[in-house]
Amino acid sequence: MHIIRPAIWDYAWGSGTEIQEIVGRDDPRIAEAWFGAHPLAPSPGLDGRPLDQVVADDPRGTLGEGTARRFGAMLPYLLKLIAADGALSLQVHPRLDAARAGFAAEEAAGIPRDGAVRNYRDPNHKPELVYALTRFEAMCGFRTPRRAAEVLSGLGTALSDELSATLRDEPSATGVRDVFTRLVSADLAPSPHEVAQVVEACRLRLESGSPSPRADRTVVLLAAQFPGDPGVVTSLLLNPVTLRPGEALFIPAGGVHSYLHGLAVEVMASSDNVLRAGLTNKHVDVAEMLRNVDYVAAPPIRIAPEAFHQATRVYYAPVDDFELSVTDVPGDGLVRRLPGLGPRVVLCLDGSVVLEAGGQMVTLPRGQAVFVADADGPATVGGTGTVVQAAVP
């Protein structure tokens, strides 16, 4: 086993308290804490070796023969804590073929992998699963064209009337594509004044008893953070999502989304590829984003857990790269076996637990994580607390 520390990111939308309280740091702002082996920010190890080096030194011992054969000499997932005090960018993650092609093209162009204008920092896709630790607000995927038209109707602005008419005339993925493109493309996007008109209409509708109060509140909220940004209006096209603690949401590659507020655990394919169209101060590449969007309307994909045993819930995402389990240890003196084999990252979210694997025993207080290699075999946990585990299915 290999005790690891998180790699910390302080993006502008991050929290001043949430992750700090878990990992025991006093940073003024933390947006994400990474527990993984992504080459951009591998987790430092207690012995001085970053996790990507640990994997590279012994791929078959750390990953196992099956995982190494499927994914090569890389840990296929990345585990994170994410804490949003403000909205994240309006974004999409690429599919695997697009990520490989985009990465190769940017490598050939000589764009630094950590450069501000880089789209593809690695050749991997980035489907992800979000497990809420607090109430977690998000937008994910397109509403049906008919419902989006209903939300837009009655606002009485030229822009909202135009968008609603387009969706009513073409109530299909084509209509959604046309409206989304109209809003975010540089040569078609509405002016800040047109955006402000929609925002004011939503505010007035909200005050008078809106038929779509949540959509209107989101517009007003986003406008306060990103005044004049067309992404504010785009929120009216997207499904609202609220996760209660313990609920999980899956974001497939190609799914347009934005997280608005809350603390969560994320597990995803090991990638940092994000294509943005708005609601951000980071690099925006609308044309590349549009090439990767899935325009088919669909409800958010909520993942229901399956019981491994009485103490453990497993969230199986519809991908080969990762799964997430949550184990509660009640302090009754018994030990529980954690699910799975292969390479695992175990993070203590609460309390203090004792993890045993491969003849070793480590104590994990809140915020501490350990990498369990395939060669370590089965793992058990005792003590009192809650742990999350990322693993390969």
The structure tokens 């394919």 sit at 269
Q: Which two tokens stand for residue 219?
A: 């517009």
Structure-block tokens of residue 93: 């993650």
- Residue 107: which residues within 8 A CB-CB, separation 6 or more? none
Instruction: Answer positive or negative: Cα dihedral of 53, 56, 57, 61.
Output: positive
Residues 182-192, buried b or exposed e (16+ Cβ, 10 A)? bbbeeeebbee
Distances (CA, A) of 268 to 73, 131, 298: 17, 11, 21
Cβ atoms of residues 377 and 358 within 8 Å = yes
276 is catalytic: yes
Angle between helices 173-184 and 158-169 (to 10 degrees): 160
Q: DSSP for 312-354, please give it.
A: EEEE--SSSS-EEEEEEEESSS--EEPS--SSEEEEEEEEEEE
Of residues 29, 276, 313, 336, which has the active-site annotation? 276
**What tokens appear for 14 in the block?**
């991050």
Residues 164, 322: contact at Cβ < 8 Å?
no
Ranges of H-type helices in 208-237: 213-225, 231-234
The residues that are catalytic are 276
